A and B are shown apart, each in its own frame.
Chain A
Amino acid sequence: MGAIRFDNVGRVYGGKQGSVEALKGVHLDIADKEFMAVVGPSGCGKTTCLRFVAGFDQPTSGTVSVDDVRVTSPGPDRAVVFQQFALMPWKTVRGNIELGLRNNGIARAERDDRIERILALMNLTSYADAFPHQLSGGMQQRVSIARAYVLDPDVLLMDEPFGALDAQTRVVMQEELVRLARRNPRTVMFITHAVEEAVYLADRVAVMARQPGRIKEILDIRSVREAERWDEHEKIEDVMDLESFVHLRTQIWRSLRQEKAMEIA
């Protein structure tokens, strides 16, 4: 289970010069096991939305709930993958992945078993005893994803997880995430400003607008992907060449560009 619901969510930041409405009337339903990407210009409040689901922040109006339970605090049922990895530098790869399992009272034998499996799945086995700073950015983000996945969470929250990686590493990680997500589906909320990434990964893409931050439109990718058999292509560039992909990408770009035009006008 892991259905996310934003019900008329708003966020107002109060200040001495008056208040700023960062988010207004956000309605969004993410179904159980659905991969939802959220794109939008910077400052549209997409990361804020993710932080509501994570329980790091609270909306000033409306409610955010998971499986009809209102979110009030962070917890391992909603695992987060941070843009800056957020690995404990004093713990090894294994230690980082183990912390969440240990916190949730999982016995030693099962812990070891689950860690071995996730390490193998993420190609990290030979780095189990390395410290994060000994790894490249891509490897560190693998560890961060492993740390989230190993908890078997209902919901995975990814906040521009590949934003800090170089272009080649990014492509490899996107392909890996697609394989992981298709084989082992979870409810995923994926924040990004890269349109291609959103179209390639997601079942649906929510486009956000700013001032105030709100959901502008939601596009269905999954039906196109299944009809056009994207998953039969192993490489991202092959998918990105497909006419159906280009069409969706252009549609989202137009939607975002209207925003920019309005901003300049």
Chain B
Amino acid sequence: MSRKTVIGSATIFAVLALWFLLTSVTQVISPGRFPSPSDTWLAFVQITGKGYANGVLTEHILRSVMLVTLGFLVAVCTGVPLGLLMGWSRRAEALINPVFLIIRPIPPLAWIPLAILWLGLGDMAKIMVIWFAAFVPSVINAYAGVRSLDRTLIEAAQMLGTPMLTFMREILLPGASPMIFTGLRLSLQASWTTLVAAELVGAMTGLGRVLNAAQQDLYPGMILVGMIAVTLCGWLMTVALGIAERYALAWNTAAKALD
């Protein structure tokens, strides 16, 4: 084990010990404000066994992961091509950018009332809000990726007589991909943030629903379980994206390591 890992684990252990000390042992923090480790464990046992807020933990997780994935994918599949188009074509940029600049500063969560008005309390409204939140970083980074593309590479491709479709697929997309992946990471983070907020407003199941129900039930242990579950899900999806990135950009990471 490296020095860094030792210190890191020691810190985490210290925080856990402090948590135990302040809650269970001394009760400096009252159980009504922040749960003790054993309260949290009991809440965890309850939600995995008997269930809580209309379902067991796996059901809530699956629901949330599904919504995030759908919203994220819709955002990426619309945002990245739009960003590439705006980066490549001055005309498309002139046409789209003004609208984009107006929509961009609207906080994604401010769309929730409209989304509910249009689509009700169901999944569609949540997917829409996630889409709006995740869309912006995808567009901006794909756009910046195209703009950062080396001018001589474009000239080299033209000189080689590269047709438009091949150019898009083999020059523009891989050339912009390091920035595109940066955008995807930000989009994924935005998706999770927005999901929890959207589910807080109204949902039958999902991790946001767990958090909301636990707050209404004055159940701190369950709130903490919900928070930990959201964090772990977000973290795991980010790790998965990182693996996809390393695989897709093998040429780039190696090139960077050389510099």
Which residues in A have some Cβ–Cβ distance to B below 8 Å? Answer: 54-56, 73-76, 78-80, 82, 84, 86-91, 99-100, 102-104, 131, 133-134, 147, 151
Question: Contact at A76–B156, with CB atoms within 8 Å?
Answer: no
Question: Contact at B251–A90, with CB atoms within 8 Å?
Answer: yes
Q: Which residues of A contact B251 (CB under 8 A)?
A: 89-90, 131, 133
CA distance A78 to B39 in the complex (A): 75
Give 6 new A-B contacts, CB below 8 A, not counting A56-B158, A74-B155, A90-B252.
Answer: A75-B159, A76-B160, A82-B152, A86-B156, A88-B175, A134-B258
Question: Contact at A103–B159, with CB atoms within 8 Å?
Answer: no
B28 to chain A, nearest CB (A): 57
B171: Cβ under 8 A from any A Cβ: yes
Q: Which residues of B contact A78 (CB under 8 A)?
A: 159
Q: Which residues of B contact A88 (CB under 8 A)?
A: 153, 156-157, 170-171, 174-175
CA distance A133 to B251 in the complex (A): 8
Q: A99-B170, A103-B166, A147-B160 are in contact. Are A80 and B254 (CB under 8 A)?
A: no
Question: Contact at A89–B162, with CB atoms within 8 Å?
Answer: no
Q: Which residues of A contact B160 (CB under 8 A)?
A: 76, 99-100, 103, 147, 151
Q: A54-B159, A99-B170, A104-B161 are in contact. Are A86 and B152 (CB under 8 A)?
A: yes
B217: Cβ under 8 A from any A Cβ: no
Question: Contact at A134–B254, with CB atoms within 8 Å?
Answer: yes
Question: Contact at A89–B252, with CB atoms within 8 Å?
Answer: yes
Question: Contact at A76–B159, with CB atoms within 8 Å?
Answer: yes
Question: Contact at B258–A80, with CB atoms within 8 Å?
Answer: no
CA distance A87 to B159 in the complex (A): 12
Question: Contact at A100–B161, with CB atoms within 8 Å?
Answer: yes
Q: Which residues of A contact B152 (CB under 8 A)?
A: 82, 84, 86
B255: Cβ under 8 A from any A Cβ: yes
Q: A131-B254, A133-B255, A134-B254 are in contact. Are A86 and B162 (CB under 8 A)?
A: no
A127 to chain B, nearest CB (A): 15
Question: Contact at B158–A131, with CB atoms within 8 Å?
Answer: no
Name the contact of B174 in the complex, choosing from A54, A56, A80, A90 (C-beta under 8 A). A90
Which residues in B have some Cβ–Cβ distance to A below 8 Å? Answer: 150, 152-153, 155-163, 166, 170-171, 174-175, 177, 251-252, 254-255, 258
Residue among B177, B251, B252 with max Cβ neighbours from chain A (10 Å):
B251
Name the contact of B156 in the complex, choosing from A55, A82, A90, A102 (C-beta under 8 A). A82
Pairs A–B under 8 Å by Cβ, sample size 18? A54-B159, A76-B159, A78-B159, A80-B155, A80-B156, A82-B155, A82-B156, A86-B150, A88-B157, A88-B174, A89-B251, A89-B252, A102-B166, A133-B251, A133-B255, A134-B254, A134-B258, A151-B160
Q: Which residues of A contact B252 (CB under 8 A)?
A: 89-90
CA distance A76 to B155 in the complex (A): 11
B105 to chain A, nearest CB (A): 34
Question: Contact at A74–B255, with CB atoms within 8 Å?
Answer: no
Question: Contact at B254–A99, with CB atoms within 8 Å?
Answer: no
Q: Which residues of A contact B161 (CB under 8 A)?
A: 74-76, 100, 103-104
CA distance A99 to B144 in the complex (A): 25
Q: Which residues of A contact B171 (CB under 8 A)?
A: 88
Q: Which residues of A contact B153 (CB under 8 A)?
A: 86, 88
Q: Which residues of A contact B158 (CB under 8 A)?
A: 55-56, 73-74
Question: Contact at A74–B166, with CB atoms within 8 Å?
Answer: no
Q: Which residues of B contact A75 (CB under 8 A)?
A: 159, 161
Q: Which residues of B contact A76 (CB under 8 A)?
A: 159-161
Q: Which residues of A contact B174 (CB under 8 A)?
A: 88, 90
B183 to chain A, nearest CB (A): 18
CA distance A82 to B153 in the complex (A): 10
A220 to chain B, nearest CB (A): 30
CA distance A134 to B255 in the complex (A): 8
Question: Contact at B163–A74, with CB atoms within 8 Å?
Answer: no
List the 8 closest pairs (A to B, CB-CB), nearest first. Answer: A100-B160, A86-B156, A133-B255, A76-B161, A90-B174, A74-B158, A86-B152, A103-B161
* Closest chain A residue to B256, Cβ basis: A133
CA distance A104 to B41 in the complex (A): 66
Q: Which residues of B contact A82 (CB under 8 A)?
A: 152, 155-156
Residue among B153, B163, B175 with max Cβ neighbours from chain A (10 Å):
B153
Q: Which residues of A contact B177 (CB under 8 A)?
A: 90
A163 to chain B, nearest CB (A): 14
